[in-house]
Amino acid sequence: MLAGATLESMNQYIVTLSCIDRPGIVHAISGGLLGAGCNITESQQFLSPETGTFFMRIEVQTQQSLEQARASLAPIRDQFAMSLKVAEGADRVRTMIMCSKAGHALNDLLFAQRAGTLAIEVPVIVSNHLDLKPMAEFYGVDFVHLPVTPSNKMQAEAELLKLAEDYDIELVVLARYMQILSDSLCERMEGRVINIHHSFLPSFKGAKPYHQAYARGVKLIGATAHYVTADLDEGPIIDQEVTHVSHTRTAEQLVELGRSVEGRTLTRAVQWHAEHRVMLDGQRTIVFS
């Protein structure tokens, strides 16, 4: 800690960067942070062997303002042609949650937000059904009913974008939202929409996948949280979890186990995104967990 400074008086920032790898990056960024009066409290880095891209995430403390810290690092950013961001460590990401009828993933997210363990702020929940309106009211979150049909899909998505603008939304989370977003919407919000699905049941698509899995006697179920792209359920993966099951489990028990896995996996993915721990490397993600 800097002389004369207390923890309460220090600003906490998160620095993330990526660029083509070359000698001197760590030395330069460390020197730039020192010049900005920053004390490094956490640092992680990774070199992607496939793309030759260098990734780094650093947590710092300093008495300088956010603008001063960004200005101090700007010459290094330009020198190495970096994609560089400096974010407030205490910021909570304004998040819109979209859901349909199943409330397990929504409840996990809202509970973690209220408990203070998830760095998001949820001002609005959007659903194509009314089933989860009571849950939104319980948590004191605005609820918008936005029905989607083949005939009004474009209009509904236009209203969705308007809501994102009105509520100053930075992240959209699909918490078992049972509608497919259009390619244009996915491209417009690339890297800002996270989805959850039952990835470890690839042979069981459509309705009641856990019941299909039960009929086939599966021994492993799980979930994947990923960024949404125009390729359905094939966006960059953020987190995955599996759990073993045996022949003694009923189809209904598989559903409950699957819901628990989905909720945990989605919450972790949102947490890592909100803490600026996820960086894109082509179709892969670098996760500094």
Q: Which CATH code fits 7-88?
A: 3.30.70.260
Confidence at residue 201, expressed as pLDDT on a 0 to 100 scale: 47
Q: Which CATH class is domain 93-287?
A: alpha beta
Distance between CA atoms of residues 249 and 90, nearest Å: 43
CB 98 within 8 A of CB 174: yes
Is residue 233 part of the annotated active site? The answer reads yes
Catalytic member of 21, 142, 233, 281: 233
Q: Which residue has the tokens 């509970």?
A: 111
Taking the domains of the chain in order of start, what are their residue ranges? 7-88, 93-287
CB 237 within 8 A of CB 224: yes
Condensed to tens digits (0 to 9), the pLDDT of residues 59-70 reads 999 999 999 999
Q: Which residue has the higher pLDDT, 197 or 38?
A: 38
CA distances from 73 to 79, 83, 168, 258 (A): 10, 11, 27, 45
Condensed to tens digits (0 to 9), the pLDDT of residues 36-87 reads 899 999 999 999 998 999 999 999 999 999 999 999 999 999 999 999 999 9
Enter the tokens of residue 51.
Answer: 């793309």
Distance between CA atoms of residues 158 and 161, nearest Å: 5
Condensed to tens digits (0 to 9), the pLDDT of residues 93-143 reads 999 999 999 999 999 999 999 999 999 999 999 999 999 999 999 999 999
